[in-house]
Structure 1
C-alpha cells in the first residue's frame, strides 16, 4: 500500500509549525512626554512650592524616573534595558564623559551669555534661578547635592533613556538625538535657557548613543550641574553682576567647542560600534507582545511606588498649606527660605538639570 503525497506537502508525522513570535514594537513617545511635562509642571510645581529641596527630590523621582520605568514596564519591556541602565561603559569612557561635561558647561555657558544679550532684560530677570539658592548654607548645599546627584540620573533615564532609545527605533541617530534634545530643553519651560539646554541635550544624547548606555550622559550631566550649583551656592561679590560681552562670549564658545570636539574624538575611539537600537526591546514576558502600553503589565512594586509618590505629594501639599497659613513676618524680618520670590522664576524650584551657568 502506498501513500501519495503532493510535492512539497508535509509528511504525515512532521511536527506542527511553531506559533508565531509575539509582536515586538517600539513604545510610544508623545504620550510619555506629555505625561512627564504635566507631572513636572503641575504636581511638581506644587511640591516645590511647599519645599524647594523636598519638592525637587519628588519631581525627579516621581515626574521623571518613575514614569519612565512605568512606561517601559507597561509596554512589557525590561525597564533597565530600555532606559539604558544595564550596560556599564568602560571607565575611560566615563572619565572622558566627565571632561565632556566640563567642556559642555563652558560651551553652553557661552550660548547662555549670548542668549541673555539677545533677549529683553525683563525676560532674563523673570527666569533668573539664583533666588532658588537662597536661605541657610545647609539648604543651599542640599539643593546642590540633589541637582548634582539625583537630577542627572532621573532626567537621563527619562530622556536619553526612554525618549531617545525609543526614537532610535524609528529614526536615524542624528534626528533621534536632536528631537530628544529639543524635548529636554522644552521640558524646562524656560525660554532664556532653551538654546543652552539644547546644546547640552545634544551632548548628553551623543554620549549615550555611542556607549549604548545613559551612564556617560549621567556623568556629563552631573559635572555640569555640580559646577553650576557650586557657582550659585558660593557667595558672590556685592553689587550687580557685570553684563556679558559679546566678544568674550564668542571666544568662550569657540574655546569650549574646540575642547569638546577634541574630547569627542577620543570618546568615539573608545565607543566605535554603538549597539543596535533593537537591543533595547527586551520583553519582560517573552510570551506576550510588547510595545503597546497596558496598566495590567505593570508589576506590583512599581504600582506601590506610584502610590507612595501620591502620598508624599499629599504630605507636601499639607506642608505647603500649613506654611501659607502662618502669619507673614514683618518686612525686614523674613528669613530666606530657598523658594524663589514671586515673579523671579517661572519654572518653580528648578535650579538644575543641565542649567547653563549665568
Structure 2
C-alpha cells in the first residue's frame, strides 16, 4: 500500500447487548494475541528467493539486489523497453499468477476514466446522484474525482459495523486470513453513517472500493465483469481477473515468512483484489504508457499528492528525475510494483509472494537512466 493502513472500530450504540458484544470482542482479541504469539514463535529465519531461476540472469541480479534482504519466497519480474520485454524470476516465471493488491486501483481508475469518456458519469458526479438514499448524508456530497485522486475525506479503511465485526477482522489478520468480508451491498450501506473528513490528500482503500461500487451501480455490471469486458478482453490480458473466491491460487507468505491465505476482498475488491502475471502487466504497462489502454488518461498527473509525488486518478508520478508513474500493492501474502518512465516509456514490474516491499525495484529504471 502507498501508506500504512489502520483498523478503525466503529462506535457501537448504547443498547442492552453492548456489554456482551464487548466481552465477546475482548475474548476474540485475547485469542488473537495467543494466535499471534504462536505464529511469531513459528516464524522461520530470513532467507533469499527460493526455487529455480527463470529468464534473464542480468535482470534477476538487478531486481533481487534492488529489493534487499527479507523472508523471500518467489518472484516474477519484467523490464520493458519499447516493444522489448525481458523477464526474470525465481520459483516463478512471467506466466505465474500473483495477487497484485493496490495495483488494482489503476484498473478501477481506468474504468472511471472510460466511464467518463462514455458519458456514463462525470468527474463531478456525487455519490448521492448515484445512490439517492445518501441525500443529506455526509458521504452524499463526495464526488467521484475526489475519490480517484485520493482526497475524498473518506476513511482509509471501511468502518466496521460493530465491535464484533472489528474483532473478527483483527483476528483474521492475526491468523493470516482475508480480513475483508463486507459484501457489495454492505459497502454501499456503510456510506449512510460514515464521517467525511477534510478533503486533502490521504490514501483511502475504502474510497476505491466505493468508486468501484459506484461504477457497478451506474453500468449495471459487477466489478469483475467490468474489468473483463472493458480492460482485459480488449487488451488480451488472458491471465488477469477479479477472483470470485480463494480458489486457484496457492497461499503467499507474511513478512515473517509464514503462510498467508489468499485475499478476495469481497465488496472491497475494487481496491485490491485483481490477480495477474508479469506477462499481462507488461501489456498493461505498455498500453497505459503509450495511451492505448482503455482509460489511459487516468495516469496523467493532475494534482500534488505530497513532496515526493503528484497524482492522477490512482496513479502516482514522482517529482524527481526520471519522472516515474507508478503504483504498488500489498495483500496478506503478496507485494507488487509497476512503474514506467513518463519520457522514455521504459518500465519495471515485480511481483512477489511474500509480504515484503518490492518498491526498490524502481532503481532498475534509475540505473538505466544513468547509464
Q: TM-score interval w.r.t. the shorter chain?
A: under 0.3
Higher fraction of helix: 1
| Bigger-Rg structure (1/2) | 1
Structure with greater strand percent: 2
| TM-score, normalised via structure 1 length | 0.24
Bigger relative CO (Cα 8 Å, ≥ 6 apart): 1
